[in-house]
Amino acid sequence: SIIPTKNYRGANILQKRELDEVEEDRECFLCLIALKLAGRIAQKRYTSTNSSGASSDLQEASEMAREMILYYGLEDEYENLSLYDIKKKDFMYELMSNDEKVFIHEKTKKILEEARKKAEVVIEENKAELDILAKALMKKGMLTAKEVESLLENIKVNVLN
């Protein structure tokens, strides 16, 4: 669904997994964050508004960006330092100066912006498919996995012919 309703607020197509299970590099993180932001971007594109429906995706994307910096050391400024307390399962903000907190906030925003741009490119590259899905969603409100597969299969056939 791209339009939140009283009893239904969309669907997760990617199950959250523990990032420690697999080694991820910076590019992989950016793609995962872009995926989280894509729903919100598509919603705004097709409904001209944002809603609270994508708030959990936005929170997860922001958290992943902070993890890149403070937990995994995937940004140059913190590549040799982890500021994550495994016992508390939280970042060690109490050890940071206000300037560091501001820097991390700004760096997080830059990562999110970079991922947003990636998501927009993918959305634009798949505009035909998204237009068909959005039209069907606007008409029905929700689609089952089979309905989505059917719509996408029809697109593939039409593109090949």
pLDDT digits (tens, 9 = 90+) for 66-110: 989 888 888 888 777 777 777 777 777 777 888 988 998 999 999
pLDDT at 1: 42
Name the more confident of 78 and 127: 127
> Hey, is 49 helix, strand or coil?
coil
Share of the chain above pLDDT 90, in %: 25
Helix axes 145-160, 127-140, angle to 10 degrees: 140
Element at 43 (helix H, strand E): helix 26-47
Kindly indicate the confidence band of residue 34, based on its pLDDT and cuts at 50, 70 and 90.
very high
pLDDT higher than threshold 80 for residue 53: no
85, β-bridge pairs: 90
pLDDT higher than threshold 70 for residue 113: yes
Contact at 8 Å (CB) between 138 and 3? yes
CA distance 121 to 104: 26
